[in-house]
Amino acid sequence: MRILVIGGGIGGLATALALHAAGIEVEVFEAAAEVRPLGVGINLQPHAVRELTELGLGQALAANGVATQEFRYANRFGQTIWAEPRGLLAGYRWPQYSIHRGRLQMLLWAAAEARLGPARLHRGRRLAGFSQDETGVTAQFEDGGTARGSALIGADGIHSAVRALLVPGEGPPRWNGALLWRAVSTAQPFLTGASMVQAGHRDTKFVCYPIGEAPGGRVLVNWIAEQRFPTDTPWAREDWNRPARLEDVLPIFADWRFAWLDVPGLIRAAEAVYEFPMVDRDPLPRWRQGRVTLLGDAAHPMYPIGSNGASQAVLDARFLALQLARHGAVEAGLEAYETVRRPATAAVVEANRGDGPDRVMDLVHARAPDGFERLEDVIPRAELEATVNGYKRIAGFDPATLNARESWSVTTAPIPEPRPGA
């Protein structure tokens, strides 16, 4: 079996590593001529960290990310709505990491290159089409070249060419009216020093968390500021690296100064701000067409709520490799993958449309828009718990279930960790 993976992002590279670990031959075709550490921060939840740890990347993640210790919801006045421990402190067997997306991609690329060999990772190969018959799939690239494999996995992101070929006429992703500004700033540590914070509500929200150290005891803080506009506001096609202007975002948060966080100060300290409209697509009724399927954002683009985009792509990757190895036949393996992962990810897409766990902020804002004296007069603890923990169950990172679930490794032999610095 020889698998062609289209896209060398988080999902495609995790797929390559998982297939390789499962003893399946794989080749990756990435459109970018050069793989550079683009993007800002993302979170890897413990379910994804488990998969990457079982792929022998636990130490590499620890060396490149910040193990999140606390998660906190607050209103726009900085009053705490919910605070809970995260990762190992929450009883998971695996940490949660806040990490620069580009660093994670580079780390996965380096691991894939070391394990598969550089000849299996192709840069500057943009998929243009494919054809398939009973014996395999032929991928056609824009450069005129082709590649032949037993199956083709579209891990080519939110503007997936594979998805456009499988679902012609689907059109662009759908905007929900929210604009996100993303940036990294150098700042003093706040709260535990490894806290992830979300303040505000559905219409105006500020999210931040450290993703690394900076000189002088300071930290690199990833932040996302969010504002909702009427959906007929014109917006350019989403591009993960479209620069934005500080003066567009700063006035919205000018008076968000909390005792424990200076939001306008953080915004002002950004080196560069990028903007992105919050988009997703409707879940598909099918992913697989013969020997071709989808994975990651290509399969289930979701609002970046609940920090699950990259994590779900990693879960897809590992489950796909397990099913292909178990079934030993392409179509049966792809079908088994889809049977579990398509409904699981559609549920996350739907939950994120309802604001996911962030709904607790919306509930408090609706009931106490000017702040509160006693939180328990606004919302019972049980309602907060049900919302936050319910989302963990939907997205697959409820601690008890995750800790107890059997491994998705094909072999139980541990994969050696690369030497530090290797």
Ligand X SMILES: Cc1cc2nc3c(=O)[nH]c(=O)nc-3n(C[C@H](O)[C@H](O)[C@H](O)COP(=O)(O)OP(=O)(O)OC[C@H]3O[C@@H](n4cnc5c(N)ncnc54)[C@H](O)[C@@H]3O)c2cc1C
CA atoms of 191 and 179, how far apart (whole Å): 27
Q: How far is the CB of 397 from ligand X (least distance, A)?
A: 16
Please identify the residue of the shown chain whose CB is closest to the bound ligand X. Answer: 9
296 with 316: CB under 8 angstroms? yes
User: 57 or 378, CB closer to ligand X?
Assistant: 57
**Helix-helix angle 381-395:359-367, to 10 degrees:** 150
User: 103 or 182, CB closer to ligand X?
Assistant: 182
Residue 296 is given by DSSP the state G
Residue 67 is given by DSSP the state E
Q: How far is the CB of 143 from ligand X (least distance, A)?
A: 11
User: 104 or 368, CB closer to ligand X?
Assistant: 104
Q: How far is the CB of 77 from ligand X (least distance, A)?
A: 27
- 250-272 in b/e form (b: 16+ CB < 10 A) is bebbeebebeebbbbebbebbee
Interface residues toward ligand X, by CB under 6 A: 6-12, 29-32, 38-40, 42, 101, 126-127, 155-157, 161, 182, 240, 296-298, 304, 309-310, 313
Q: Output the six-digit token pair for 159.
A: 């503007």
Q: How far is the CB of 240 from ligand X (least distance, A)?
A: 3
User: 30 or 364, CB closer to ligand X?
Assistant: 30
Q: How far is the CB of 367 from ligand X (least distance, A)?
A: 30
Q: How far is the CB of 164 from ligand X (least distance, A)?
A: 9
Nearest-CA neighbor of 141 among 152, 130, 150, 149? 130
User: 34 or 133, CB closer to ligand X?
Assistant: 34
User: 4 or 378, CB closer to ligand X?
Assistant: 4
CA atoms of 83 and 69, how far apart (whole Å): 11
CA 109 from chain centre, in angstroms, equals: 17
User: 8 or 396, CB closer to ligand X?
Assistant: 8
CA atoms of 280 and 312, how far apart (whole Å): 14
59 with 107: CB under 8 angstroms? no
Phi, psi for 406 (deg, rounded to 5):
-70, 155
User: 39 or 364, CB closer to ligand X?
Assistant: 39
Q: How far is the CB of 355 from ligand X (least distance, A)?
A: 17
User: 142 or 383, CB closer to ligand X?
Assistant: 142
The CA distances from residue 206 to 245, 256, 291, 312, 385, in Å, are 17, 9, 42, 23, 21
The CA distances from residue 27 to 243, 249, 353, in Å, are 33, 42, 35
* Beta-bridge partner residues of 385: none
